[in-house]
Amino acid sequence: MSSIHEECGVVGIYAPVKDNIAPYLYYGLLSLQHRGQEACGIAVTDTGAKHLDVSCIKDMGLVAEVFSKEQLSTLRGNMGIGHVRYSTTGESIRENTQPLVLNYCKGKLSLAHNGNIVNTDELREELIRTGAIFHTTMDSELIAFHIAKNRVHSESVEEAVYKTAKKLKGAYGLVIMSPKKLIAVRDPFGIRPLCLGKKDLTYVVASESCALSAMGAEFIRDIEPGEILTITEDGIRSDYSLRQEKKAHCIFEYIYFARIDSAIDGVKVYDARMKAGELLYKRHPVDADIVTGVPESGIAAAKGFAKASGIPFDLAFHKNSYIGRTFIKPSQDERALGVQMKLSILEEVVRGKRVVLVDDSIVRGTTMENLVRMLKSAGAKEVHIRISSPPFLHPCYYGVDVPTNKELIATKNSADTINRIVGGASLEYLDVEDLSEMADHLPLCTACFTGEYPAGEK
């Protein structure tokens, strides 16, 4: 399997009328910041220029940290792509930032990728075999080099993209920029999301629909699994040759990853989380005085639980939104401190109460242990834990950053044991059978809970 696991977000814009699109890419990336806080970048080009070139700025850090107003004003063009990146610790080096810009036979090729390719060894070997001496662990670099190689014997860049995509195994939402075209590709299973929007004559693509509105565009549709969408000055056209029958949309997008105001493949993320909370109550009811959620990802499910149970919802925690995710802090001590820094408790809401605490998932158990402790010190009488996803048991090969099996608390411990470890009064998970209803019966990838990977990976 690939050695770099990435969770990312991508955006792309093509404005046929002379326009300066960099600020729109910036707004789009700001609204995808939840998909990656480690690094970001923007590449733009002017399709009408005599001497075609690509300007690219990328660096480690949050979108607002990397781009100053002055820097943004140096990125001039009518077509561009952007990327936010989130990777596991250890690989957080500047060279891995995207978009990637490389010289090829037709000028410059730029590419940004969300997801994870599982056959990188095969792809790398093929490049080495065909004479390109090439060592990289980056999926996106391998994809870009394959496109560049295939372009030499192809009529068009779309054809080179198609030949490359046919060889890719895994999950991808790709935005690719050739000198005159913007191309968006979604993997045939549709694991990672990608959608299309429009404002006047300008087309916009993004990992999530929340980015389209931030860029002033209206949602048109999801890019279909296996679709290669090409945007030029003549408008859009699609190639569906990669399409296959089996689809497998990532359930974790709905559970945790996507922003609550996004809709993916026709299902609103907020509705899916509410539904999960309702289903959780139906399977695992409990008598309590208030229902609360872990901000932000547990709030909608807590509301669903409250709605189904009739127990009032209240906010027990305040979240300081200006601190990065605690999940990525390297040591366990730092992670625990991170939880406390990020969340503070509203004592009067919980004092003397039997509390239902809803979160979207338990990974290592750090968050839950700390929150139960905080609730109890604030005087909560009982803390009933309800998790709006099943036990997290298997690694994700498709781009969700998951610790090793060893660190996943549910691989070694039953719900009762975890409940004891974290100090709850009871602990229940959403059932695997309920995931389909949660996501309105879409075909799903639920491998992190079931170990059943769409392409049969082990």
Residue 131's region, left for phi above 0, alpha for psi from -120 to 50, else beta, is left
CA 34/CA 413 separation, integer angstroms? 29
**Residues contacting ligand AMP: total by CB under 6 A:** 18
* Residues facing residue 176 across a β-bridge: 111, 183
Q: Considering only CA atoms, which of 170, 48, 171, 156 is closest in space to residue 109? A: 156
Place of tokens 């820094």: 341
Name the DSSP letter for residue 51. Answer: S
State yes or no: residue 325 binds ligand AMP (CB under 6 A).
yes
Within 169-208, the residues that bind ligand AMP by CB under 6 A are none
Q: Considering only CA atoms, which of 26, 83, 77 is closest in space to residue 60? A: 83
With contacts defined by CB under 6 A, name the span among 36-44, 162-170, 400-408, 422-430 that binds ligand AMP.
Answer: 400-408
Cβ distance to ligand AMP smaller for residue 157 or 368: 368
The active-site residue, picked from 8, 250, 396, 448, is 8
| Beta-sheet pairing, 343-345 with 354-359 | unpaired
Q: Considering only CA atoms, which of 4, 3, 33, 10 is closest in space to residue 257? A: 33
8 is catalytic: yes
How distant, in Å, are the alpha carbons of 123, 134, 304 from that of 128?
9, 6, 53
* CB 397, CB 457: distance < 8 Å: yes
Phi, psi (deg, nearest 5) at residue 442: -70, 150
With contacts defined by CB under 6 A, name the span among 52-60, 70-78, 300-308, 361-369 that binds ligand AMP.
Answer: 361-369
State yes or no: residue 283 binds ligand AMP (CB under 6 A).
no
State yes or no: residue 309 binds ligand AMP (CB under 6 A).
no
Cβ distance to ligand AMP smaller for residue 229 or 385: 385
Shortest distance in whole angstroms from residue 408 CB to ligand AMP: 9
- Out of 294, 380, 387, 444, the residue judged to bind ligand AMP by CB under 6 A: 294
- Out of 78, 209, 361, 446, the residue judged to bind ligand AMP by CB under 6 A: 361
Cβ distance to ligand AMP smaller for residue 26 or 254: 254
State yes or no: residue 365 binds ligand AMP (CB under 6 A).
yes
Place of tokens 């500047």: 94
Cβ distance to ligand AMP smaller for residue 134 or 327: 327
- Out of 31, 87, 98, 297, the residue judged to bind ligand AMP by CB under 6 A: 297
- Out of 163, 198, 354, 364, the residue judged to bind ligand AMP by CB under 6 A: 364
With contacts defined by CB under 6 A, name the span among 69-77, 109-117, 373-381, 396-404 that binds ligand AMP.
Answer: 396-404
| Beta-sheet pairing, 426-429 with 382-387 | parallel
In 3-state terms the chain splits into helix, strand, coil percentages (rounded to 5) of: 35, 25, 40
Catalytic site positions: 8
Contact footprint for ligand AMP (CB under 6 A): 256, 294, 297, 325, 327, 359-368, 400-402
